[in-house]
Structure 1
Amino acid sequence: MSNCLHLAIPAGDLKIAKKFYCDVFGCKTGNSEEGHWVDIDFWGNELTLHQSDERLPKIRHDVDMGAVAVPHFGVHLPEKEFQALKQRIEEANLTYLDKPYRRFVGSKYEQETFFIEDPNGNVLEMKTMVNPQVLFEVD
């Protein structure tokens, strides 16, 4: 694995957080230290969940479609995988922070996205791009 992102976040209760990331998001675990932290394979990236009492503060920033929660993180998924994730979220009866919607419709940056909170209140934005190859193109 090369060029993988590593992100460590406060996760609250590790057992609850691990259940969310593995059972709902379909991620797998890696290295861990019982009661302290666990590595999650977050679509090829290393997400380290730390046992914690604190939560990250959130604010909203205005962007094209409204105010989004910051900080947040997530991944871009292929369409089929994105739709399967939405299905797992709905089957788990979880509530979206911002429901799935399409942005930049008709442009080369068209995408479907949603925001959801993990059990400790960390915000995730999950996306699928119509044309993923244009992500870093400069106009």
Structure 2
Amino acid sequence: MLTPFHLAINVTDLEATRVFYGEVLGAKEGRSAPTWVDFDFFGHQLSFHLGPVMKTENTGHVGDHLVPMPHFGMVLALPDWQALAARLTAAQVAFILPPSVRFEGELGEQWTMFF
């Protein structure tokens, strides 16, 4: 059994956060207050609080890509990943790195996207 994690992140706009996580990503909203909101994110708890946003000015090399650091993500079965990529593309989400496959045909092949 996978143990759920809790991650708290600062945001500057709770309403835009509700739209993105609730409507675009389809996450179920949980508890909330005027300054924060929780979401069930693939069985884990994301908590968004009003406050200054942490900068992601650093990058790390992964294959041929520079990826934002720090970052977090979900490991999904390929059909679920493809459905999420299609949903984000249809919603015209701006990708930092668009959906693609890395290390194709190699040990560690991975489908990835950053948004």
Kindly state the Cα deviation for residue 15 of structure 1 after the two structures are TM-superposed: 0.8
Share of identical aligned residues, percent?
A: 37
Kindly state the Cα deviation for residue 63 of structure 1 after the two structures are TM-superposed: 2.4
What residue in structure 2 maps to residue 20 of structure 1? 20
What residue in structure 1 maps to residue 95 of structure 2? 96
Runs of 4+, deviation exceeding 3 Å: none
After superposition, the CA RMSD in angstroms is 1.5
What residue in structure 2 maps to residue 83 of structure 1? 82
Q: Distance in 1 between matches of 2:60 and 2:109?
A: 20
Inter-CA distance 98–79: structure 2 relative to 1 (3 Å threshold): same
Inter-CA distance 2–93: structure 2 relative to 1 (3 Å threshold): closer
Partner SS for 1:112 = strand
Kindly state the Cα deviation for residue 2 of structure 1 after the two structures are TM-superposed: 6.5
The AA in structure 2 aligned to 1:4 is P
- What pairs up with 1:1-139 in 2 under 5 angstroms? 3-33=3-33, 35-52=34-51, 54-58=52-56, 59-116=58-115
In structure 2, the gaps of 5 or more residues are: none
The AA in structure 2 aligned to 1:28 is K
In structure 1, the gaps of 5 or more residues are: 117-139
Tell me how many residue pairs correspond in the alignment. Answer: 114
TM-score scaled by length of structure 1: 0.76
TM-score scaled by length of structure 2: 0.90
